[in-house]
Protein backbone atom coordinates (compact mmCIF):
# COMPACT_ATOMS: atom_id res chain seq x y z
CA UNK A 1 0.00 0.00 0.00
CA UNK A 2 1.26 3.46 -0.88
CA UNK A 3 0.95 5.43 2.36
CA UNK A 4 1.43 8.73 0.52
CA UNK A 5 -1.84 8.26 -1.34
CA UNK A 6 -4.84 10.16 -0.08
CA UNK A 7 -6.95 7.73 1.91
CA UNK A 8 -10.52 6.91 0.94
CA UNK A 9 -12.64 7.88 3.91
CA UNK A 10 -15.77 5.73 3.96
CA UNK A 11 -17.53 7.49 6.84
CA UNK A 12 -19.11 10.76 5.69
CA UNK A 13 -18.63 12.39 9.10
CA UNK A 14 -15.06 11.70 10.26
CA UNK A 15 -14.94 14.56 12.79
CA UNK A 16 -15.36 13.82 16.51
CA UNK A 17 -15.71 16.98 18.61
CA UNK A 18 -14.11 16.69 22.04
CA UNK A 19 -16.43 17.95 24.80
CA UNK A 20 -13.62 18.66 27.26
CA UNK A 21 -15.59 20.85 29.67
CA UNK A 22 -15.77 20.96 33.49
CA UNK A 23 -19.56 21.05 33.74
CA UNK A 24 -22.79 20.28 31.94
CA UNK A 25 -23.83 23.79 30.93
CA UNK A 26 -21.03 24.63 28.45
CA UNK A 27 -20.89 21.07 27.11
CA UNK A 28 -24.60 20.88 26.40
CA UNK A 29 -24.69 24.45 25.08
CA UNK A 30 -21.99 23.55 22.55
CA UNK A 31 -23.81 20.37 21.54
CA UNK A 32 -26.91 22.44 20.82
CA UNK A 33 -24.88 24.53 18.37
CA UNK A 34 -23.57 21.48 16.49
CA UNK A 35 -25.27 19.08 14.08
CA UNK A 36 -25.34 15.32 14.83
CA UNK A 37 -25.56 14.66 11.10
CA UNK A 38 -22.12 16.25 10.67
CA UNK A 39 -20.08 15.13 13.68
CA UNK A 40 -19.88 12.85 16.68
CA UNK A 41 -19.00 13.84 20.23
CA UNK A 42 -16.30 12.66 22.62
CA UNK A 43 -16.99 12.54 26.36
CA UNK A 44 -13.83 12.26 28.44
CA UNK A 45 -12.81 11.73 32.03
CA UNK A 46 -13.60 15.18 33.44
CA UNK A 47 -17.13 15.49 32.13
CA UNK A 48 -18.03 11.86 32.79
CA UNK A 49 -16.65 11.98 36.33
CA UNK A 50 -18.77 15.03 37.10
CA UNK A 51 -21.98 13.97 35.38
CA UNK A 52 -21.83 10.20 34.93
CA UNK A 53 -23.94 8.25 32.43
CA UNK A 54 -26.58 10.99 32.36
CA UNK A 55 -24.22 13.07 30.24
CA UNK A 56 -23.97 10.38 27.57
CA UNK A 57 -27.71 9.77 27.65
CA UNK A 58 -28.46 13.48 27.23
CA UNK A 59 -26.23 13.74 24.16
CA UNK A 60 -27.70 10.58 22.66
CA UNK A 61 -31.21 11.96 23.09
CA UNK A 62 -30.00 14.97 21.09
CA UNK A 63 -29.10 12.62 18.25
CA UNK A 64 -25.34 12.33 18.75
CA UNK A 65 -23.24 9.19 18.65
CA UNK A 66 -20.79 9.25 21.55
CA UNK A 67 -17.17 8.21 21.83
CA UNK A 68 -16.65 7.43 25.53
CA UNK A 69 -13.00 8.33 26.08
CA UNK A 70 -12.21 6.85 29.49
CA UNK A 71 -9.10 4.88 28.49
CA UNK A 72 -9.74 1.87 30.70
CA UNK A 73 -6.54 0.32 32.11
CA UNK A 74 -6.82 -2.21 34.93
CA UNK A 75 -6.87 -5.95 35.58
CA UNK A 76 -8.73 -7.90 32.85
CA UNK A 77 -11.89 -8.60 34.84
CA UNK A 78 -12.33 -4.96 35.84
CA UNK A 79 -11.79 -3.67 32.32
CA UNK A 80 -14.16 -6.25 30.87
CA UNK A 81 -16.90 -5.16 33.29
CA UNK A 82 -16.30 -1.49 32.49
CA UNK A 83 -16.51 -2.15 28.74
CA UNK A 84 -19.79 -4.00 29.21
CA UNK A 85 -21.15 -1.09 31.25
CA UNK A 86 -20.19 1.31 28.46
CA UNK A 87 -21.84 -0.94 25.87
CA UNK A 88 -25.00 -0.97 27.99
CA UNK A 89 -25.04 2.81 27.63
CA UNK A 90 -25.16 2.39 23.86
CA UNK A 91 -21.97 4.34 23.14
CA UNK A 92 -20.65 4.29 19.58
CA UNK A 93 -17.00 3.88 20.56
CA UNK A 94 -14.94 3.24 23.70
CA UNK A 95 -11.25 2.83 24.39
CA UNK A 96 -8.74 0.99 26.54
CA UNK A 97 -4.97 1.39 27.02
CA UNK A 98 -3.13 -1.19 24.92
CA UNK A 99 -0.31 -1.15 27.49
CA UNK A 100 -2.69 -3.06 29.79
CA UNK A 101 -1.56 -6.17 27.92
CA UNK A 102 -3.01 -8.96 25.80
CA UNK A 103 -5.11 -10.59 28.54
CA UNK A 104 -6.80 -7.29 29.35
CA UNK A 105 -7.46 -6.53 25.67
CA UNK A 106 -8.91 -9.96 24.98
CA UNK A 107 -11.14 -9.70 28.05
CA UNK A 108 -12.43 -6.35 26.79
CA UNK A 109 -13.16 -7.86 23.38
CA UNK A 110 -14.93 -10.86 24.90
CA UNK A 111 -17.09 -8.60 27.08
CA UNK A 112 -18.59 -7.03 23.95
CA UNK A 113 -19.14 -10.24 22.02
CA UNK A 114 -22.76 -10.71 23.06
CA UNK A 115 -24.03 -7.30 21.93
CA UNK A 116 -26.00 -7.09 18.69
CA UNK A 117 -24.40 -3.71 17.96
CA UNK A 118 -21.26 -3.51 20.07
CA UNK A 119 -19.33 -0.25 20.25
CA UNK A 120 -16.08 0.06 18.38
CA UNK A 121 -13.30 -1.08 20.73
CA UNK A 122 -10.24 1.11 20.27
CA UNK A 123 -6.79 0.88 21.86
CA UNK A 124 -4.80 3.87 23.07
CA UNK A 125 -1.16 3.57 22.00
CA UNK A 126 1.05 6.54 22.97
CA UNK A 127 -0.59 9.76 24.13
CA UNK A 128 -0.11 12.60 21.65
CA UNK A 129 1.25 14.81 24.45
CA UNK A 130 4.30 12.52 24.82
CA UNK A 131 7.62 12.96 23.02
CA UNK A 132 10.74 10.76 23.01
CA UNK A 133 12.09 12.35 26.18
CA UNK A 134 8.82 11.64 28.02
CA UNK A 135 8.89 7.98 26.99
CA UNK A 136 12.51 7.64 28.12
CA UNK A 137 11.56 8.94 31.57
CA UNK A 138 9.06 6.12 32.04
CA UNK A 139 11.45 3.42 30.85
CA UNK A 140 10.48 3.23 27.17
CA UNK A 141 13.61 3.97 25.12
CA UNK A 142 11.84 3.52 21.75
CA UNK A 143 10.91 6.47 19.58
CA UNK A 144 7.15 7.20 19.68
CA UNK A 145 6.54 5.77 16.20
CA UNK A 146 8.15 2.41 17.05
CA UNK A 147 6.26 2.20 20.33
CA UNK A 148 2.96 3.06 18.64
CA UNK A 149 3.49 0.43 15.96
CA UNK A 150 4.29 -2.31 18.49
CA UNK A 151 1.19 -1.48 20.55
CA UNK A 152 -1.00 -1.25 17.43
CA UNK A 153 0.10 -4.72 16.34
CA UNK A 154 -0.83 -6.06 19.77
CA UNK A 155 -4.24 -4.37 19.59
CA UNK A 156 -4.92 -5.90 16.19
CA UNK A 157 -3.81 -9.36 17.30
CA UNK A 158 -6.06 -9.14 20.39
CA UNK A 159 -9.09 -8.41 18.21
CA UNK A 160 -9.56 -4.68 18.74
CA UNK A 161 -11.19 -2.63 15.98
CA UNK A 162 -8.44 -0.03 15.82
CA UNK A 163 -6.24 2.34 17.76
CA UNK A 164 -5.82 5.93 18.78
CA UNK A 165 -2.56 7.33 17.44
CA UNK A 166 -1.10 10.69 16.53
CA UNK A 167 -1.64 11.71 12.90
CA UNK A 168 2.11 11.49 12.37
CA UNK A 169 1.97 7.72 12.88
CA UNK A 170 -1.14 7.16 10.76
CA UNK A 171 0.61 6.50 7.44
CA UNK A 172 2.92 3.89 8.95
CA UNK A 173 0.07 2.12 10.72
CA UNK A 174 -2.15 2.18 7.65
CA UNK A 175 0.59 0.62 5.51
CA UNK A 176 1.38 -1.99 8.17
CA UNK A 177 -2.09 -2.91 9.42
CA UNK A 178 -4.33 -2.50 6.38
CA UNK A 179 -7.44 -0.63 5.38
CA UNK A 180 -9.87 -2.38 7.75
CA UNK A 181 -8.07 -1.35 10.95
CA UNK A 182 -9.61 1.86 12.28
CA UNK A 183 -7.32 4.80 13.09
CA UNK A 184 -8.51 7.63 15.34
CA UNK A 185 -6.24 10.66 15.53
CA UNK A 186 -6.26 13.42 18.13
CA UNK A 187 -3.57 16.06 17.83
CA UNK A 188 -5.27 17.47 14.74
CA UNK A 189 -4.99 21.22 14.26
CA UNK A 190 -6.16 23.44 11.37
CA UNK A 191 -3.45 25.65 9.91
CA UNK A 192 -4.65 28.73 11.80
CA UNK A 193 -4.72 26.98 15.22
CA UNK A 194 -2.14 26.68 17.97
CA UNK A 195 -0.78 23.25 18.96
CA UNK A 196 -1.72 23.78 22.66
CA UNK A 197 -0.39 20.75 24.61
CA UNK A 198 -0.23 18.45 21.60
CA UNK A 199 3.22 17.47 20.32
CA UNK A 200 2.75 15.34 17.19
CA UNK A 201 0.20 17.25 15.10
CA UNK A 202 -1.01 17.52 11.49
CA UNK A 203 -3.83 19.43 9.80
CA UNK A 204 -7.16 17.62 9.27
CA UNK A 205 -6.50 17.10 5.56
CA UNK A 206 -2.98 15.85 6.22
CA UNK A 207 -4.23 13.40 8.85
CA UNK A 208 -6.86 11.93 6.53
CA UNK A 209 -4.39 11.76 3.67
CA UNK A 210 -2.04 9.83 5.95
CA UNK A 211 -4.71 7.22 6.58
CA UNK A 212 -6.76 8.39 9.57
CA UNK A 213 -10.43 7.39 9.67
CA UNK A 214 -11.59 9.76 12.40
CA UNK A 215 -10.28 13.10 13.66
CA UNK A 216 -10.72 14.11 17.28
CA UNK A 217 -10.80 17.91 17.37
CA UNK A 218 -11.46 19.98 20.47
CA UNK A 219 -10.35 23.54 21.03
CA UNK A 220 -10.29 24.69 17.36
CA UNK A 221 -14.06 24.03 17.36
CA UNK A 222 -15.12 24.30 20.99
CA UNK A 223 -13.38 27.65 21.59
CA UNK A 224 -14.37 29.19 18.27
CA UNK A 225 -16.81 32.14 18.37
CA UNK A 226 -19.06 30.11 16.07
CA UNK A 227 -18.40 26.36 16.53
CA UNK A 228 -20.59 25.30 13.61
CA UNK A 229 -18.78 27.75 11.35
CA UNK A 230 -15.43 26.36 12.54
CA UNK A 231 -16.68 22.83 11.85
CA UNK A 232 -17.78 23.90 8.36
CA UNK A 233 -14.34 25.35 7.64
CA UNK A 234 -12.69 22.06 8.62
CA UNK A 235 -15.20 20.14 6.49
CA UNK A 236 -14.27 22.27 3.48
CA UNK A 237 -10.58 21.63 4.09
CA UNK A 238 -11.08 17.85 3.93
CA UNK A 239 -13.57 17.64 1.07
CA UNK A 240 -10.99 16.21 -1.32
CA UNK A 241 -10.25 13.38 1.13
CA UNK A 242 -13.84 12.16 1.34
CA UNK A 243 -15.22 9.43 -0.86
CA UNK A 244 -17.66 10.78 -3.40
Q: Is 10 annotated as a binding residue?
A: no
Residue of 11, 13, 45, 74 marked active site: 74
Q: Is 122 annotated as a binding residue?
A: no
Active site annotation includes 5: no
Give CA–CA dist 143/244, Å, rounded: 37
Residue of 5, 11, 35, 71 marked active site: 71
Segment (H or E) for 42: strand 40-43
Q: Is 73 annotated as a binding residue?
A: yes
Active site annotation includes 192: no
Active site annotation includes 74: yes
Q: Is 185 annotated as a binding residue?
A: no
191 Cβ contact list (under 8 Å, min separation 6)? 203
Q: Is 178 annotated as a binding residue?
A: no
Q: Is 42 annotated as a binding residue?
A: yes
Using DSSP, state whether 135 is helix, strand or coil.
Answer: helix
Q: Is 197 annotated as a binding residue?
A: no
Q: Is 138 annotated as a binding residue?
A: no
Q: Is 219 annotated as a binding residue?
A: yes
Residue of 69, 161, 172, 213 marked active site: 69
Query: CA quadruple 107, 212, 167, 145: dihedral positive or negative?
Result: positive
Give CA–CA dist 46/68, Å, rounded: 11
**Helix intervals (H) in the chain:** 24-33, 45-51, 53-61, 76-88, 102-111, 132-137, 144-157, 167-177, 204-210, 219-222, 227-237
188, 202 contact by CB (below 8 A): yes
Q: Is 189 annotated as a binding residue?
A: yes
Residues with active-site annotation:
69, 71, 74
Q: Which residues are annotated as a binding site?
A: 20, 42, 69-78, 128, 189, 198, 218-219
Q: Which residues are annotated as a binding site for substrate?
A: 20, 42, 69-78, 128, 189, 198, 218-219
Amino acid sequence: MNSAKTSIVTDPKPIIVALDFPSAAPAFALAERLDPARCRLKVGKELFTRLGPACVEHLQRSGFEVFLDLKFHDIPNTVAAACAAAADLGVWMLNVHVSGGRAMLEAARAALAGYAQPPLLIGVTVLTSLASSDLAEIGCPDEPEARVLALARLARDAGLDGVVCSPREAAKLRAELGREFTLITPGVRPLDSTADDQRRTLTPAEALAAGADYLVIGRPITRAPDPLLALAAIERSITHCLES
